[in-house]
Each structure stands twice: as C-alpha cells, then as structure tokens.
Amino acid sequence: MQQQKILSKSIDVGGRQMTIETGRVAKQAGGAVLVRYGDTVVLVNATMAKQVREGIDFFPLTCDYEERLYAVGKIPGGFIKREGRPSEKATLTARLIDRPLRPLFPKGMRNEVQVIALVLSVDKDNPPEMAAMVGASAALHISEIPFKGPIGGVIVGRVDNKLIINPNITDAEKSDMHLVVAGTGDAVMMVEAGAKEVPENEMLEAIIFGHEKVREIVEFINDFRTEALAMGLAKEKYEPELMVLEEELENVITARVSEDIKSAIKECIVKQLSKKEREALLDGVKEKLTAELLEEYPEQAKAIASIIDGVEKKLVRRFILVDRVRIDGRALNEVRPISVEVGVLPRTHGSGLFTRGQTQVLSIVTLGAISEEQILDGLGIEETKRYMHHYNFPPFSTGETKPMRSPGRREIGHGALAERALEPMIPPEEKFPYTIRIVSEVLESNGSTSMGSVCGSCLSLLDAGVPIKAPVAGVAMGLIKEGDEFAVLTDIQGLEDHLGDMDFKVAGTAKGVTALQMDIKIAGIDREILQIALNQANEGRMHILGKMLEVIDKPRTDLSPYAPRIIQTVIDPDKIRDVIGPGGKIIKKIIEETGVDIDIEDDGRVFIAAVNPDAGYKALSIVEKLTKDVESGQIYNGKVVKITDFGCFVEIIPGVLGLPGKDGLVHISQLAHERVNKVEDVVKEGDMLEVKVIGYDNQGRLKLSHKDLLPVPEGMENKERPKENRDNRRPQRSQRRPQNHKSS
C-alpha cells in the first residue's frame, strides 16, 4: 500500500496560526483542504462536473456553508434532533464566500462547480467564515477547476483607533467596525461591513489595511499550490468548453443592429423614459431586429439574442463613459426623484413609504415584548436577537409572475444588510425594552431596493417613536470601467446594475458609515475608485437624508395606540419564585387575568407589556403585592381579618389571585394605651385599622401596633414603662451568685 502523502502549511493571521492541509481527507473531491485556525476546523471541498450543463447562459456556481452543531458541543433543538435547512448566518456566509470567487472563473464556462465548507469545530476567538473563505480559495486553486485566483479574506476590526486583523471575541465586542475584505493580490474583490458611524476616509484606510493582509494570504496559497503540485497533491487545470460566439457571425450582426439600438438608447436619454417605457421601446427594436436576422440565420436564435444584448450593453456603457450621460438622462452623480411618506398604515406600530424613481419600498415596524426576541440555534455566540429586519421581494414589483416561495439567499442577504445599517442606531434594551421587527415590502423595483429598505426602515422607526440615535439613509453606487477609463454612478437603477461592473452599497448617518457592501464583476478595483465611490456616496446619502428629514426629523414622542406599553420594575431575585409560583401557576394567572405579557430576568428585572395601560398597571400592582417587603417602622392601613382573645390579626397587604395576603398580630396590649379588657371593645372583624410594624416574633411572624400611632393620653406619659428586653429585666443566673471554679 502506497504511503499517504499529506501537505500541511501555516501562516500567521491576526497573531494566530492558520494551517491548511491537504491529502488526508476527502481525496475524491476535485480539491479538498482542512483549514485549522486556533481550534476552529473547517473542511472545504471544490468539485466540478465533467460535462457542460446545456441550455444555460450563465455560470452554475454553488457555494454551500454547512454548520454542524457538534462543532460547538450542541445537540440540535426540536423533535428531529438533526440539522435542517441552513441558518440565516450560514446563508449569509455562503454568499460571502461566493461573491469574491464568482468573477474569477472563465467567461462562458458552463460546467457546474460546487464549493462546500463543512464546519467541524469552532473556537469562538477564530471565525469559521474566514477559515472557510480561505479554504475555498485554496481548494479551488489546487483542483483542476479553471480559476483565476487565489483570493484571501480577513475581518478588520478597530479598537481604540487601532486596526486589527480577525479580532478575537473580546476585541470584537469593543470594535467600532466589522469589516470583511476579500481580494486577489492585485485588487479588492469584495467588501462587507457593519460600523458605528465611521467616516468614509477611515473606512477606506481599513479596507486598504485589510487588503495588505489579503496579499500575504494570496501569496501563501500560491506557495501551497506549488508545493502540492510537486507532491502530486494538486492537479493541472482543465480546459473547459466555453460558450463562445462565432466571430464572423458576431461581427455581421453587430454591424446590422448597432445603429438601430443606438438610436433607441438616444431616444430614452432625450425623453427620460421610465423603466416600462424604455423596456417597451428597446424590446420592440430588438424583437424587430431578431425577427429579421432569424430569416437569414434560422439556426442561430440563441446567438442572435446574445449578440443583440451584448451590443445594447456596450452602447449603454459607451454613453456613460464618453458622453457622461445615463440612459434615463441623469448626470453621473444625480439621485432619482424622491418621495417620502410616514404613518401610511393606520393599525401598525409604525410605517414608512420610500420611493426613489421607480423603486418603492414600504417598511413596517412592530414592537413586542422582550420575550418575543428571536432565539438563535447556531454556532454563533449570540443566542437571541431583539432587533430584526426582514426583506420581501414579490414578483409583482418587477411586473412578473412567479411562484411565491420562502425567502431565498437574495432576500436574506438584503434583509441582513438593511438590518446591519440600522443596528448601531437601535436604542439599548435598558432605554427601550422592546423587541423590534421591521418588514420591508418591495412594491416596485428598478434597482437599489436594499438601500430603499434602509431608508424606509428608518422612516418607520421614527414614525413608531423608537428613539434611534440618528437617522440613516443608503445609496447604491455603480461602476463602468473599460481599460483605464471609468465612471462612478450614484443611485444605480436595474439596467446599470445589470450592465455595470460594480454594486457598491453604502448606508450611514450624517456622521459616518454604518454598513457597506461591495460586489464586482471584474478582476478587482483599486484605491482611487474606492475613494471616489465613497466620497460620491456620501454626497448622495446627505441628499437623501435631507429629503427624509423634511418629512420627519425625529422620533415621534408617543407610541402608536396599538403598540404595547412596557412597564418596568425590579424585584428581589429571591422573590422571583413568589411571582412565578409552582409550575408557573401564579404568573399564568396574572397573565390570564390582566391580558399582559410578563418577562422576568434572572437579575430581578420585570417587564410588563400591555396595549391597555390600565391592564399593565394592574399587573404591576399584583407583582408588587406579591413581592413587597415589610420592614419595621412601616405604617399600613389594614383590614381586621380575625379576632382572638389575645388580639386581632390585621391584613396589611391584601391577597391577590385568590392567594392569602400578608397579615400580622396586634396584641391586645398594642390596641390602646389604656387597658383593653376585650378586643371587640376596640375593633370588630372587617374594620380598617391603621397599624405600625414593630418587628417579628421568634417564628418570623409580623408584630403590629395600633397603640404606637395614638397620642399618649394626658397624665399617662410617665406611666408608660420603657420597652426593654426581657433578658434585661433581672440579672442573669450567673450574675446573681458567684461561680465556684474547682481545679481537677
């Protein structure tokens, strides 16, 4: 049996060793690496189908990020006890891996490629998503799959104004940014960030800082492939069958159709046609040209359609690069017309309708009790989430018909981006103890719906009366680049996104950036383009914020009448059991009787959520009665509940929910200064009696006094015996006679 060959190589990333190994496991995959980063271990495989997938005109790449709960020593919850569909975090990480890889495959390639990252072990200080991204790059690089990589990826954090690579859990909590940078050795390919109002110039420096480390990782992976090839653990690259158009046919058709399409585009620009009008005009011209060409080339339907689309793309791009004008007539840095409305839905807790050109988003806020926060069952550190944003993209928003299904990767990704943009502005639980859910419904789409969701969500939060720290807006930037020529576009629409080279979304406040996301279709962009895009985005964002603030510039002072009011109190943690009761009996009864929601934290904080404030205060009164401490010296107006020969029992805190209240004994000697022969001479059962707590007996029962609250009758002042301890009335036995000590 041939001896197993294993290659293992390490690099320092953020002060910790990242080790990549191949040759030990998953040897039947096209390329497989085991990445170890601290105690985080991820197995990444890349495999390609041998046959071309027919009938498609796109590259079929799939990236999967598979979380296994055994990686953190957990058993999945629920009845089935095994992992189900990917978590939201897993979906977002899969997108994170896909985005920098996709532009680096040969154009026209149609072989299916699948990258699978399997998370085997997780150390909280070492992010598995970065190990997976680096592993995906290495697995592709040592495989036979055609790939113009490798890439590297890092997380950049900033603590006390110091930039750090892949911050550990402690630094991550202190950091004012979470920036993911991925790229090749030459250029940045992908950026994604959440930040606490970081200025654009500082964000740019962080991107450049991250890319320097990316370069080192790229060089490391190149060296890894070289050594793997020498050991027979890497493969020579496969020459794929590419979808390439016949050059002569392409030249003939391009010459035939260019003028007609160019005239149609000019008409769109001059008349500033809407999306529907533009599509009708261009589609009409293309259909006419296609019909004419099919008469001559009846076997070339797909090629004709592809060539005509290519001509349209080139001409639109040339108008932008040469004439500096866009297909809707806007200047390169011009934002589409904006319309803003708030309070558009009468029964919701807050709503905002944001329209920018022909992109329209309706965002709705719902406020709930703390108990309604989302429970996360994944590999992350966080176990709950009290602020969430969900994004829906129905087919009617683009005038199409499609089946309505559960959210896909795109919807999850756009929702997470808008959530990240607003998260730093959400007030802490101590200030605003609500669970907050925002849903953004895309009603019309012509590009930049995720940034429309940011704006709509901010409006709805202000309308709901949520005390956010500052208003947030977002804008999507585009890029057209050919050779050394380039143009950066502000507020791109759908066609510019489709035909352009970059989609760079920037969200933030007037003070700084709160979220970034950049995807490109070319082999990277440099610092100059990033600088221009960030500066231009700032101008666009300030313009949009201005329009929003004209309508609503601060949170409403009152919540919606349909939103729950949350009343807070704090009880002794040892008394939590008095409120909950055996098996939750008491708290269930409170909820049933008042119709409120009650959340009790382990530290004794109690949150009562009620749409009807009276019901909330009723529940609060019950909780206070159940947990109220009785201390010596306190005065109560109680009810006489029982009379005995030696005194009466007075209920000073009434019972609730059928439970007994708190009572104490007023001894007959404590009813009056004068001698009382019969208790009934002073009080009767059912009377209200003002009493003072004078202590507890040796069995822990309350002792009360009515006498102490009465004025001393004239002439009795000197007759009142001073209260003294029984033990002090006479000398101790040992004090009454001397002790005899005998020595043995």
Contact 138, 33 (CB under 8 A): yes
Question: CA-CA distance, 677 to 366, in Å (whole number)?
Answer: 66
In whole angstroms, what is the distance from residue 633 CA to residue 709 CA?
A: 11
Q: Is 603 left (phi over 0), alpha (psi -120 to 50) or beta?
A: alpha
For residue 478, the cross-strand partners are: 489, 503
Asked if 12 and 100 touch (Cβ cutoff 8 Å), the reply is no
Measured distance CA(325)–CA(334) in Å, rounded? 10
Q: Is the dihedral of CA 224, 229, 232, 238 positive or negative?
A: positive
Beta strand 152-159 with 61-66: parallel, antiparallel or unpaired?
Answer: unpaired
Token reading at 98 = 């896909």
DSSP code string of 569-633? EE--GGGHHHHH-GGGHHHHHHHHHH--EEEE-TTSEEEEEESSHHHHHHHHHHHHHHH----TT
Going by the DSSP 8-state scheme, the letter that residue 381 receives in this structure is: S
Q: Which CA distances in Å does 344 have to 304, 463, 466?
A: 47, 10, 17
Phi-psi region for residue 37, left (φ > 0), alpha (ψ -120 to 50) or beta? beta
Residue 679, Cβ density class (10 Å: 0-12 exposed, 13-18 middle, ≥19 buried):
buried
Structure tokens at 370: 């703390």
Is 497 among the annotated ligand-binding positions?
A: yes
What are the start-end ranges of the H helices in 512-563? 527-551
Q: Are 140 and 148 in contact (CB under 8 A)?
A: no
Residue type, 139: A
- Residue 625 structure tokens: 């009665």
Q: Look at the block and give the residue holding tokens 């590999």.
A: 379
Burial class (CB in 10 A: 0-12, 13-18, 19+), 374: middle
Pairwise CA distance, residues 63 & 592, whole Å: 49
Pair 486, 529: CB distance under 8 Å: yes
Alpha carbon distance 43, 277 (integer Å) = 50
Burial annotation 546-581 (CB, 10 A radius, 16+ → b, else e): ebbeebbeebbeebbeebbbbbeeebeeeebebbbb
What residues have CB less than 8 Å from 299, skipping those under 6 apart?
A: none
- Which of 2, 515, 495 has its CA nearest to residue 268? 495
Annotated binding site: 497, 503
Annotated binding site for Mg(2+): 497, 503
